[in-house]
Amino acid sequence: MNTIIDALKAHAHNKPEQFAFVGENAQGETVQLTYQQLAAEVFAVAAYLTSLNAKVVALRAENSISWILIDLAAMVANLVIVPIPTFFSYTQVQHSLAESGADLLIGDWSEQASVECLGHLAGLRVYRSVGVMPASVLADTCKITFTSGSTGHPKGVCLSQQHLSNVAQSLAEAVMGLAEKHLVLLPLSTLLENITGVYVPILLGASVHVYPGRKLGLLGSSQFNAAAFAQQLADIQPQSLVLTPALLLALIKLVQGNSQLAQSLKFVAVGGARVSAQLISAAHDLGIPAYEGYGLSECGSVVCLNTPKAFKAGSCGKALSHSQLRIAEDGELLVKGNSALGYLNAPFIEEWLATGDLAAIDEQGFVHLLGRKKNLLVTAFGRNISPEWIESEAQALLPGVPLFITGDGQEQLCAVSQHISNIDAKLSELNSKLPDYARISQVLQLETLHAIPNWFTANGKIRRDQLEQSVSELLSQNLSNVSFHRQMVTRIDLPKS
């Protein structure tokens, strides 16, 4: 049973005139679909997809109502769909196609050579992939979501319709009654927004506004136009959003300049990385109802979430009804209840899924993230420190400033940061709030961190082993200013507190 499609059909019958999705289609035209119209279009697209005799559909396009129609239609047609992020590199796209064995490509595939154009569907181009090798997709898979991961080769996570329905239903129960108008901000190709911006609203019978990222001020995976974002917030007046910590920081800055932008908001979920308690408190002080959550693709996205009924700043909330959590002896968070089928060609066989995240669960059941297990620093004094913990605390004092913590095997911790003035004062303030073993002793400042070769993956994630090696070499020179890959690195020693 697919509760998402069942809900769509029920709303089409019970409240046919209510708007389901409002926004733009793939051709930039303004579209308003009622639930009755949405259901009719979804089933029509599903019938056409079925007639093409495809097995695996790869969808690569900007956010639009067209994207949503293809996604829901593939579910109705019982086809495997593979959403491909538009910010994936050419190499990542080719890897995803080869791994999934996609034989039908929909959307922007202008770079593909071996394809046959079949026309258009829901305003998006449709191509038959020529000479594709079939992949060993796990049984019952309906969606393959490729995680960007920490390397250049994303992993394909296989999810069933039951997995997606379980997560969406659990989320719908948690946020029921909080909001009736959602604005999609994150790419729909990311599983989080796919579920929260499409499936959960359908279950709740809510309305969703969908526009391409450029109209909302979002370009690629990391560029942002604050003025465009503010204009859309003012025009649409959404009641709910899903944000990354970086977007929450941007929203805080906007609301500081114009408090009206927060007035319509009823629920703002924040995920994708650890969020400091100070940042959540700063949002609440401005009237932004921000609530941190946590999830991973291997569990079908969201696992736990703060809500107005159960909230603790500094935590990522309590487990949703579909999941069970426990902490392993080494501090790793384990999840049971809605694990994915597995990776492509590698089914999950363990009852409890190891998340790779260090965490603690308090007496009230709130989950507190402590960082990635593989990133744990062990100082020369034997203290275990999660760099993400310190980095997230620095967000509140240095919003939007790239900063990374190093010190594995060292007596002191060092911060590597983009160059800004008065960073010594800001980090000294941060140190005053940290235990002595987690305080930063030195800072290395560069003009452009992302220009350093080998420090970042193709997805923009930090390579901590490379960073540690470089920092160790720079500190060994014991100079205040060092030339490093054509950049000047300024070293600052912080006062001991």
DSSP states along 402-466 = -EEEE-TTSSSEEEEEE--TTHHHHHHHHHTTS-GGG-EEEEEEES-GGGSTTSB-TTS-B-HHH
Question: Where does the pLDDT of residue 497 fall: very low under 50, low under 70, confident under 90, or very high at 90 and above?
Answer: low
Of the candidate CATH numbers 3.30.300.30, 3.30.70.2860, 3.30.1330.90, 3.40.50.720, the domain formed by 376-493 belongs to 3.30.300.30
pLDDT the model gives residue 198: 98
CA distance 390 to 493: 18
Q: Residue ranges per domain, the chain?
A: 3-369, 376-493
Say which residue, 491 or 238, is predicted with more confidence: 238
What's the mean pLDDT in 313-327?
Answer: 95
- How many Cα neighbours within 13 Å face the side chain of 485? 14
183-202 pLDDT tens trace: 999 999 999 999 999 999 99
Q: What is the dihedral of CA 71, 75, 79, 82, to 10 degrees?
A: 40
In one-letter notation, the amino acid at residue 64 is S
CB-CB neighbours of 362 under 10 Å? 11
Residue 236 has pLDDT above 60, yes or no: yes
Ordered strands of the 267-270 beta sheet: 30-34, 19-24, 207-210, 181-183, 240-243, 267-270, 290-296, 301-305, 318-319
What's the mean pLDDT in 33-57?
Answer: 97
Residue 439 has pLDDT above 60, yes or no: yes
Residue 222 has pLDDT above 50, yes or no: yes
Q: What angle do CA 202, 36, 71 make, to 5 degrees?
A: 50
Q: Which of 237, 229, 283, 223 is nearest to 256 (CA)?
A: 283
Residue 274 has pLDDT above 60, yes or no: yes
Question: Where does the pLDDT of residue 361 fall: very low under 50, low under 70, confident under 90, or very high at 90 and above?
Answer: very high
CB-CB neighbours of 318 under 10 Å? 23
pLDDT the model gives residue 397: 87
pLDDT the model gives residue 148: 62
Q: Which of 242, 260, 263, 261 is nearest to 182 (CA)?
A: 242
Residue 352 has pLDDT above 90, yes or no: yes
pLDDT the model gives residue 270: 95
Q: Per the CATH hierarchy, to which homologous superfamily does domain 3-369 belong?
A: ANL, N-terminal domain (3.40.50.12780)
Residue 150 has pLDDT above 60, yes or no: no
Q: What angle do CA 352, 353, 358 make, to 5 degrees?
A: 110
Q: Which residues contact 398 (CB under 8 A, 6 or more apart)?
A: 417, 420, 423, 426
Residue 344 has pLDDT above 50, yes or no: yes
Q: Which of 190, 103, 99 is nearest to 153 (CA)?
A: 99
What SS3 state is found at 298? helix
What's the mean pLDDT in 376-385?
Answer: 80
Residue 151 has pLDDT above 50, yes or no: no
450-474 pLDDT tens trace: 888 889 886 678 889 899 988 888 8
| pLDDT-wise least confident of 55-69, 357-371, 442-456 | 442-456
